[in-house]
Every structure is written in C-alpha cells, then in structure tokens.
Structure 1
Amino acid sequence: MKKRSDFSRLMGYAGRHRVFTYASLVLSAVSALMALVPFVYIWKILRDVLNAAPDYAQAVNIPHYGWMAVLFAVLSYLVYIAALMCSHLSAFRVATNLRLAVSEHLAVLPLGFAETFGSGKLRKIIHESTGAAETYLAHQLPDQYNAIATPVGLLVLLLAFDWRLGLLSLAPVVLAFLIMATMTGKRMAEKMRQYGNALESMSNEAVEYVRGIPVVKTFGQSVFSFKKFKAAIDDYEKWVISYTKDLRLPMMFYTAAVNGVFAFLIAGGLLFTAHGVT
C-alpha cells in the first residue's frame, strides 16, 4: 500500500475545504506572474523615450503604458489577497480538526502518559505543531508557489529582453546556490536536529519550572536547584552558538553573491558595448 504524503494527510483534515488550498496555489502563482507585467510596460516606456529622443513628443503611448503598469500592480495585489483568503479558510479548518484529533487521542491514553511524556512537550504538540501546520498552509505553501512562478516568469523576461544579459544575471544566482550547498548536508542537518532537540527540551523544562515556582518561594530555593532546567539552558546555548558560528562565513558570501547581480550586469554591459551601442 502506497504511503500517503504529509500534504495529502493534511488535506484529509481539511475535508471539503481542501478546494480552497488548491485555489490559493493557483491564485498565488497568477499573482506572481501579474506582478512582473509592470516591468514590461516600464521597459516599453524606456524604449519609446529612447527611440523618440530628442523629439520626446513622439512618445505618445507613455501615459497608457504607465496606467497599465499601475493596473497590473494593483491586480496582482488583489489576486494575492484572494489567494491568502482561500488558504486561510482551509488552514483554519485543518488546525481545528488536528487539535480535535489529538485531544480525542489523548483522552483514551493512560492517565500516567502525560506525566511521563511531559506536559511541556504535549502542549508544544497540541498548540505549536498544529499552529505550524496552519502557518504552512495559510502562508508558506502559497508563498512557495509564488516563489516558483516568479523566477520562471523572470527567466522568460530576461531572455526575451537580451539573452546575453539574461544569462549573466543568472551567474550570481548559481554562485549563491553553490554557497548555499555548503550550509546544508548531513553535518548541518545533524546540528539543526540537535539544536531543535535542545530547544524542545528547554521549553519542556521551562513549563515544569513555572509549575514549581510555589515550591521555590516556599522553601527559599534558587533557580539553580532545578538542575534539569539549567542543564537544558546550557545545552541550548551550546548548540545555538555552534550552529550560528558555522553559518556565519557562508551566509556572508551568500548575501554578497545575491546582492552583487548589478556588478555582473555593469561588467557585462561595458563588455558588450565596447564597440558601440546598437
């Protein structure tokens, strides 16, 4: 029997509201493509101005191009709002049904399970994890399709305007991906897993500490008497500092590569126009 994907399982909790999720994905992608249309009209404005120079009165279509750019920018924004409205309708239904399912499952478990497992971890699963599913469906999933449609549309525009400058614009993107690869892999995945475990442990121990505050006040003890809580904090400090230091240098080069696209374009423009501009 084929194992169901996580997304299909989430859609099972959405019920009849799943259609809103699919509609949000389509609308988000359409919004991303519509957001690129104003750049086409801006290019048309520049083209007409340069062709009409120095008699700029011949560029009679500039107001039309300007209003069309504004129209598509507004339409893109409205379509994206519609996409978010659809995604939220489905995400709220999924979060509600997930919390109900978890609560019903906890009701049939032995009474000692909550004490053994830890109330902090249970709270994280019921509230934070279901909230994370809601955030994923309401925002991250539509934004993912938006992020996929945008570079596809940009690639088409870049190659349509000038294929040489278009390919040159992709050079820093490829460089950024190569640098990003150094921040992934099994070693970094293991560090991220340990960081997540330390954060979860600290959250669980913090809940237990808050519950034990009356004991602290009654017997005049300090926070250091809660050795498990202090150990969890120290463990979290160790992993978060280690993880941050490992990502510091690659992130610096990644940011420079992503923001350095204009340096590539200026160098390419000077090279391609060395013998004059056609």
Structure 2
Amino acid sequence: MADDFSAWIGKQETRHDRFDPARSNALLVALGTPGSAKDGDPVPLLHHWLYFWDVQPPAALGNDGHPAKGGFLPPVPLPRRMWAGGRLRFEAPLRFGEATEKRSTILNIETKQGRSGTLVFVTLEHRLSGSAGLAVIEQQDLVYRAASSETPPLPVPLSAVPPCAAHRVISPDPVLLLRYSALTMNGHRIHYDRPYAMAEEAYPALVVHGPLQATLLAGLIEDHAGAPLKSFEFRGVSPAFDGIDLRICAAPADTGFTAWTQQGEARNMVATATV
C-alpha cells in the first residue's frame, strides 16, 4: 500500500460529555445486574465507552454502519475496521454527573503484512479529565484489513468451566448486542444485522463487541481483587459470536491478574490488570 498517512500523526480532537448515570444503569440491567448508580457515584470501569458519542447523519455513514472514512481518522483504503485492543491507566475515578473532557490524539499509523494481506494499525491516545483533573489515559489500537470470503467456524461450546479463580457466564444474544450497540452508538452492522454479518463480512453469526468483553473482564477482576484497578490491557484473539455461552475468567498472576473470555477451546480476548 503506497498511501502515506504520516501527516495524520499528531492530529487531535476534543469532545465533552456529562456522565448521565441512566446510560450506565441501562448496561448494568442489560447484563442482569442492578442499575442503581446516581450522580456523584464513581463510573464503573470502562463504562466511559458509553459516552462521547460520534453521531453522524445517514449520508456520513459507510455501508458497514461505521462513520465514513476521513474526518478525524485517516481514510485508509481497506474495507474492514476493527478495535483490536488497548491499554488503560486509571489515575482517578470518573463520577456521574460530572462534565468530562476527552482529548484524542493519533499517536501512530503503521502498515504491516499479515497472513491475510495488508494491515494498517492506527494507535490513538485518549485522555479523560473530570472535575478533579486527569482520570484515565487510554491507548486504543485499531486495525484496518482487506475483506475476506473465508468464514470462520463457530466454536464448539465448552462443557466444563476453565480452571480459574473467578468465573462468570453470559449468553450473548441479539438483544444484548443490540442494546450495547445502541448504548455506545456503534453502528457496525456485524453486531446486530445477521444477513450483513454473514453475507458481507463472512462471519458465521453476529459478533460480540470487543469492548463489551473487555468491560466484563475488567469488572470481574475488580470484583475478585476487592480493590480498584490501576491498569488494564486487553487484546482480541478470535471473534466471539452470539448464541454460544461466553465464559469470563480471571486468575491471579505474578504482577496482578490475567483474564480472558472463551467460548470454545480457543480464547476470544485476553487481558492483564494491576491493582
């Protein structure tokens, strides 16, 4: 790929939002837990992804439901865009009711050759600040790739719980995926439009959001540790699909905790955290 996106490195944008607890409570209820947060309470880990919507009119959307290329992100001429992983450091709690600023910077753009062809990696940094100052520093990894006609097989559901210190199971059905898409204003059709996901992007079912899996992992680690997280890092390994129980697992490690999601023998997302 001959495109040079170096001019995009260092580009910034700033967004503002108020952390309304209703949005976070809606996600908690959708996951089967009480939603009783109120103004002044700390925002649950990674629930900041429910805010700072980038709402675009129909004419500014691509066929996949994402905002059309260009704007803040570089116009990479590859049709598939995925959130591959990220790293977060928690400096202070964000609180509901606060006016919050999110300052985003494009840190790096790199082209690589993978088994499936050309890949373009875009690394973003997001700095979230509330009334007490800087609260979260996040690096987000996006990957652009060519379209594929090869459909991955559905995983064979696990019959036993993987060995781990903490464990939870959710059933990612289309209703949950639609709710999470709506709460994050994520229009990517692979999460709620089954004909599109199967015919256009060659998936065998609807795809479970990576950020939803990361949110569940961070929450499980924090509950098991009994202490706030200082850092959290996650990486997608293989897609997770609707209709198959998703197991969320965590275990102590040398420097903190390791965690993962799993539907079949292969893991879907892996994560590490410190407290």
Q: Does TM, scored on the shorter chain, surpass 0.5?
A: no
Q: Whose helix fraction is larger, Structure 1's or Structure 2's?
A: 1
**Range class of TM-score, shorter chain:** under 0.3
Q: TM-score, normalised by structure 2?
A: 0.25
Pair member with larger Rg:
1
Q: Whose strand fraction is larger, Structure 1's or Structure 2's?
A: 2
Higher RCO (CA 8 Å, separation ≥ 6 residues): 1
